[in-house]
Amino acid sequence: MLLCEQVTMAWSRALKPTATAQRTMEPGTVEGIHLFNTREFFEAHEALEAVWLKTKGDRKTFLHGLIQVAAAFHHHTHGNRAGFRSLLEKGCTKLERLGAETEGVDLAGLILELRPWREHLDRSSQHAAPTPPLPRIKLIIKRSSD
């Protein structure tokens, strides 16, 4: 196997939720997070939406926020600035209402990674600014105490 292929496989494994997360999350949520982290934003939106359609309450708000952020970055990759701005704001607003962590997802960390994008959208209309790094959805691993 070529070194490039080995690195790609290792990177893909690193971006996929851990086995513990996979046991505690619905498969569609795990897949959606993996797709988001591998920059397949439209596919992430679709996977998360399939779970979202069957949920209620705060969980529905959580998934809807992730879906809107994924859809926002899909718009970004296709040059749709208005769609990107609108969906990013809507998604962030939903996620900010939920607290630092939901279902093992580090929402505080994700919101911190999204803040430079929101600022970039505000600044870049005035002058060209470098784009921030693409965000990743990270999980909080809780250790069980004996």
Q: Which residue has the tokens 């949520």?
A: 29
Q: What is the pLDDT of residues 128-140, one digit of tens each?
A: 677 889 999 999 8
Q: What is the pLDDT of residues 81-117, one digit of tens each?
A: 999 999 999 999 999 999 899 999 999 999 999 999 9
Q: Is the pTM of this model over 0.75?
A: yes
Q: Which domains does the chain have, with CATH numbers?
A: 25-123 (1.10.3450.10)
* H/E run at residue 105: strand 105-106
What is the pLDDT at residue 143? 61
What is the pLDDT at residue 2? 47
What is the pLDDT at residue 16? 53
Q: Are 96 and 108 in contact (CB under 8 A)?
A: no
Structural tokens at position 47: 């996977």
Give one DSSP letter per residue of 20-78, joined into a string.
Answer: HHHHHS-HHHHHHHHHHHTT-HHHHHHHHHHHHTT--HHHHHHHHHHHHHHHHHHHHHT
